[in-house]
A = this chain, B = another copy of it.
Amino acid sequence: MSTSARIEAALAAALAIVDAKGSPPRLAAAMRHAVFPGGARVRPRLTLSVARACGENDPVLSDAAAAAVELLHCASLVHDDLPCFDDAPLRRGRPSVHRAFGERLAVLAGDALIVLAFQSIGAAGARAPQRLAPLLSLVAGGVGMPGGIAAGQGWECEPQVRLRDYQRAKTGALFAAAAGAGALAAGADARPWLALGEALGEAYQVADDIRDVAASVQLLGKPVGRDLALGRPSMARERGLEGAIAQFARLIGAAIDAVPACPGAADLRALVRREAERLLPETPRAEAAVPAA
C-alpha cells in the first residue's frame, strides 16, 4: 500500500466511529468535511517516514499516530477558519466548515476531532502500553500549551509577539511531534527527530506567509493576503518577500541537515526536498535557493 493510501485508510478507520449508532449525523458530516478530501497530508507522511526509518514494527500504532497528528491539524484549521479568527470562507477550495455547517458545528467538529485524535492513539496503544504514554504526551504537546498550536494561536491574541516563538508554536510544534511520533510508534527515541520536524514546520509557516502575499487564490484554494489584513505575525511582512524566501531556504537546509544517520535517511531528505518544491508557488520558488538534490 502506498503511503498516501495508508494515511487515507488510517484516517477513514479513525473516523469510522463518528457514524456509530446514536451519533448526531450533522456533526459527523462536519468532521468528515474537515478531514476529507485532505491537503498534502505532510504531517502524517512525516510520521510514517520516520517510523519506517526507525525500523517500524507496529504499523497499527504508527497509523494511529499519523492519523492523530492529521486529525489535530484538521481541527486547528477548522477553528482557525472561524469568524472570530480568520473568517475564512474557503479551505482546500471548498467552503470552510463553518460556512458549510454553521459556526456551532464548526466549533464542535474541531473539539471532537481533537478528542478523536486521542481516541485513535488510545485504541491502538493498548497493544503497546510502554509506547503509549510518551506518544500521548508528545502529540498533545504539539497542539496544547505551553508551546503547541493553541499556544501559537494564543500569541495572535497578545499585544506583542516574537515571530520565531509564534511560528515555532503554531506550526513547528506539531511537525516536531509528527516526526517524533513516528519514532515513538516504532519503539525508538523521539529526540533525534524533533529538529527535522521543527525546521520543516517553520519552513512550512514561512512558505505560507510568502504565499499569503504572493500567490493567487486559484493556487491556494483560499483567499490570500488575509494574514496581512488580519495583522497576524508574518515573516514576509517583517523581512520582506526576499528575506522570507531566504529564510525558507535556510530552514529547508536545516531540515535536511537534521535527518539523523539511518537506513532511511536518503528517503527522508528526498521527502523534504519534494515538500520544498511543492510548498512555494511558481514565482517565488524560482527565486528561492532550495538546496539541490
Contact = CB atoms under 8 A, between A and B. Distances in A.
Interface of A: 17-28, 31, 75, 79, 82, 84-85, 101-105, 107-108, 110-112, 114-116, 118-119, 121-123, 125-126, 129-130, 132-134, 136-137, 140-141, 143-148, 150-151, 153-158, 161, 165, 169
A133 B61 CA distance: 12
Tell which of A115, A126, A148 has the most Cβ of chain B within 10 Å. Answer: A115
Nearest to A85: B104
20 contacts: A18-B145, A24-B157, A24-B158, A26-B158, A27-B150, A27-B151, A27-B157, A31-B145, A75-B111, A79-B108, A84-B103, A84-B104, A108-B154, A108-B157, A112-B150, A115-B150, A119-B140, A122-B136, A129-B133, A136-B136
A136 B107 contact: no
Contacts of A126: 133-134, 137
B129 A132 contact: yes
Contacts of A158: 24-26
A176 to B, nearest CB: 14
A145 B27 contact: yes
Nearest to A159: B26
Given A114-B111, A118-B140, A145 B28 contact: yes
Contact of A143 (B103, B115, B121, B141): B115
A130 B107 CA distance: 33
Contacts of A156: 104
Contacts of A17: 145-146
A114 B116 contact: no
A85 B79 CA distance: 15
